[in-house]
Amino acid sequence: MSTSRKVALVTGSATGAGRACAVRFAKLGFAVVVNYSKSEADAHETVRLVEAEGAPALLCKANVAVEAEVRAMVEAARAAFGRLDVLVNNAGTTHFVAHTDLDGLTDQVWEDIFGVNVMGTFYCTRAALPLLKAVKGNVVNVTSVAGLTGQGSSIPYCASKAALNCMTQSLARAFGPDVRVNAVAPGPINTRWLAGREAHIAKFLEQAPLGRAADPDDVADVVLYLATGTTLTTGQVLVVDGGRTM
């Protein structure tokens, strides 16, 4: 099957910013590939919300850290819709480990975080590139201000997001002018990740001129801008944290 509709694949779109992006693409008339690895019930709700906007949805379970699952997901998108215009690499993970607890940073912690945040983004982008090049599409990576400041849930998390910021630039140089590659770097986002960490977030926001954490739609605003609102922007990491990082 092929479609004249544009198509967006949003990894980690069962909840939070990923879901917000999926729904916003649907509002623009895109068909949406909804991806999840564990949160199946939430992913079905995202599909319902996409379809409520009158857009087709394809649900794909895939752990982005497993290349075979990524390739199967991209092939399913191609088979269902015949094209891919936007890839949003939103799936991410972390472990909360104090930065002074170096002994708590086991090999498994490093592998878990880099497997999803860095290798997962790479696997998805590599698999999607032929489809994106065919339509001069684009990639938006969801990274973090942690990759710019070294402050975040753990040292490996910060390092993974710094790597993702750099990968964004490398891919943009390598695949222009056919494919644009950009990133959005949020500060704290009001999702279930922040539950129980309100005091830490309040301290973070003391230095933010706008004085609040991001909502999922604040992140989606920037993802949609980079994907659909500009044609001469590539290799950029756009910070969305209320002005704390500047």
**Which residues are marked as active site?**
157
Q: Which residues is 32 bridged to in the sheet?
A: 8, 57
- Enumerate residues 6+ apart whose C-beta is below 8 A from 97: 104, 105, 109, 153, 154, 155, 156
CB atoms within 10 A of CB 216: 20
Which of 164, 189, 199 shows the shortest CA–CA distance to 242? Answer: 189
Q: Which helix (DSSP H) or strand (DSSP E) does residue 237 occupy? A: strand 237-240
- Cα 231 to the center of its chain, rounded Å: 20
Please state the φ and ψ torsions of residue 16, each to the nearest 5 degrees.
60, -140
Q: Which helix (DSSP H) or strand (DSSP E) does residue 60 occupy? A: strand 57-61
Determine contact, residues 33/86, Cβ cutoff 8 Å: no
Listed in sequence order, the DSSP H helices in the chain are: 16-27, 40-52, 67-81, 107-114, 121-135, 146-149, 155-175, 198-205, 216-228
Amino acid identity, residue 108?
Answer: Q
